[in-house]
Structure 1
Amino acid sequence: MKFRCERDPLVEAISVASRGVTTRSSGRQALMGLNLVLVGDQLQVTGSDLDLTIIATASVSGSRDGTVLVPSKLLTEIVRNLPEGAVTFEADDNEVRIGSGRSQFAVKTIAVDYPPMPEAPEAAVTIDAALLRDAISQVVSAASTDESRKFELTGVSIAAHGTGI
């Protein structure tokens, strides 16, 4: 895998996808990484804990397609702290090399297969992000944050009803 892009779109994609990565040691090393897939000029970054999967994309200037699994926390910190401007990214089976200006980093890849992600259902819905945020903010305060009690509801149910949710 090899590509070049501006720092800010790369930081955005990696930061968004890293929110899906597990923060606890689950015994599955792959879930502590970000899966980067380059096809043409489109970079797809996936982070998952198997309950939540976040996929972010960025437009890049790709020169060699490929897939690589990189430790999420380390990659996020490196990319956030790069100087503004062009970033080069090159990966082989064992290592990712990231460069920008005079900054150069080499990161060992995670040598396990990333778990397959479930296919999205055929019936998909598109909703404006601001509307969804506003709707969730109205009810999220009722959800408990105490996961130790089995009888408390720690989530928010979202269901489609006709043309609304």
Structure 2
Amino acid sequence: MILPAFLMTTSEKRLIAGGGYLVTKVFKRELWQDPVIRMRENVRCLEDMDILIYMFLRAGSIGNVKEILYNYCDISDSATKTMDVDTYFDSVYGAMEAIYESCHRMSTYRGALDAIEYAILSIYSFGINRCLYDQIHKYGASKELIGRYFDVADDKDNILLKSWHC
């Protein structure tokens, strides 16, 4: 059962905005069927963000389990940490587009829009931070080198960067 948009609780919005990992969640089988849900293919990271948000919007109720049932291993040479910036950024944009495409027609979308936009902005922030990290790692960290961090930006990117004022 899909809740009407006006019944989206603060707790559910926090789950959407907070993101997380699909593998740390348990869902009823029915949520994966009609329509059948599948992950996007050929994606190196964030492949589950659209499904996670979609499931939160689709679930009639959400609960939690206090027991720890998942063991996370932080691997230094994992796909997320070793992929090139272009591939990472493609994954970021793909996740943002997939969230919108899979969710914007749902009745609960409007009621969770602020949480969904927050989640999308967080994903975008991951992409920006990753690109900056790679440039700082390449050139070193100093105020004098800040301009070099953006040398790889094309004309479109430079127009956007110059139009933003902090």
- Choose between structure 1 and 2: higher strand proportion: 1
- Choose between structure 1 and 2: higher helix proportion: 2
Length-normalised TM-score, structure 1:
0.23
Of structures 1 and 2, the one scoring higher in RCO (CA 8 A, sep 6+) is 2
Length-normalised TM-score, structure 2:
0.22
